[in-house]
Amino acid sequence: MVERRRRSRGARLRRYRDPRMGTDAASAADWWELHLSGEGRVALAERLWEELGAAAVADAGDALVATFAGRAAASAARSALGRGEVRPAPSEGEWRDAWRAWAQPAVAGRLLVRPAWLAPDPETEAGRLVVVLEPGAAWGHGGHPSTRLVLEVLSRRLRGGESVLDAGCGSGSLSVGALVLGAGHVTATDIDPAALRATRANATRNGVADRLEVSGAPVASIRRRFDVVVANIGATVLEELAEPLASRLVNGGFLVLSGLLEDRWREVADRFDATGRLHLVDVLHEDGWAAPVLDARD
């Protein structure tokens, strides 16, 4: 097993939407933020995400900002941590404006992912396969480390013609990236209808929609097997999906897990290894995030 670490690109504003949350729930909620300063942000972000019910966690440079559905939830998290300042959250429109203000093209192996609202840069894009992405109301514009790590694995390991399952597809960055890299067919699943719409639109934008299938069906209900499975979701949900995801791989296929903070990836990878079909062969790291890679065997 090989561990690979990529250098951090430095602190910048990030917002992570919970992939389990649909847009109907998000639009109906009364959002509040908890602002926290100080050290140990990776561990603090994990606690906010996994234990304290944050729907989003952002690094705003001078503070860690956690978003909660309701003032009571934000206040409860503040009490549990013993610090922080509770404030009303900005509107959803302001969230999107923030994404666009700091988003930049992201390089992952042979790929360059460019947000659709940025102009092409021929010098930067020269020699790379370009994915143009518009997240809309879905999670992800392709620049988050958890996304880039998966795309880097796909860039290294896809040879062309593979079938791919993208569990929790969000805006479709992994689905479209796999297709641009030469995958023969991708099945993209998500519980959020906005994610399915965004994935379809981004596949069309990049000229690969003819090889894409989108579905709101649970992973456990999908009966076929795939050469490759990718899941950028988060530790708790991945542990719940270990059996169905492992069973979706053909013998000799591989699985890439992401959305995992540094101190959680091993226990999640062990949960998948315990299914008896998977063997950990690699793990990539960047900016406090990790993406284990497991090969399938019968």
98-141 pLDDT, tens digit per residue, is 556 667 899 999 999 999 988 999 999 999 999 999 887 666 67
Is the pLDDT at 96 greater than 60? The verdict is: no
Q: How far apart are the first and last CA of the chain?
A: 19
Distance, CA of 138 to CA of 197 (rounded, Å): 8
Q: What is the DSSP string of the chain?
A: -EEEEE---------EE-TT--HHHHHHS-EEEEEE-SS-HHHHHHHHHHTS--SEEEE-SSSEEEEEESHHHHHHHHHHHT--EEEEPPPHHHHHHHHHHH---EEETTEEEEETTSPP-HHHHTTSEEEEE--TTSS--S-SHHHHHHHHHHHHH--SS-EEEEES-TTSHHHHHHHHTT-SEEEEE-S-HHHHHHHHHHHHHTT-GGGEEEE-S-GGG--S-EEEEEEES-HHHHHHTHHHHHHTEEEEEEEEEESEETTTHHHHHHHHHTTSSEEEEEEEEETTEEEEEEEE--
Within 10 Å of residue 125's Cβ, how many Cβ atoms?
14
Residue type, 36: L
Instruction: Return the minimum-mean-pLDDT range out of 9-18, 112-121, 131-140, 241-250.
Output: 9-18
pLDDT of residue 29: 54
For the whole model, what pTM was predicted? 0.76
CATH topology of domain 143-296: Rossmann fold (3.40.50)
Strands 56-59 and 16-17, sheet pairing: antiparallel
Is the pLDDT at 264 greater than 70? The verdict is: yes
22 vs 37: which has the higher pLDDT = 37
Split at pLDDT 50, 70, 90, the class of 27 is: very low
Contacts for 115-124: CB closer than 8 Å, 24+ residues apart: 115/141, 115/142, 115/143, 116/205
153 vs 101: which has the higher pLDDT = 153
Distance, CA of 215 to CA of 222 (rounded, Å): 10
In CATH, the architecture of 2-92 is 2-Layer Sandwich (3.30)
- Average confidence score pLDDT of the chain: 85
Is the pLDDT at 49 greater than 50? The verdict is: yes
Q: Would you kindly state where each structural domain of the chain is located, as residue ranges?
A: 2-92, 143-296
Split at pLDDT 50, 70, 90, the class of 72 is: very high
Sign of the dihedral through C-alpha 263, 266, 267, 271? positive
pLDDT of residue 9: 36
Contact by Cβ (8 Å): 269, 282: no
**What are 94's two structure tokens?**
């302001």
Is the pLDDT at 168 greater than 80? The verdict is: yes
Split at pLDDT 50, 70, 90, the class of 53 is: confident
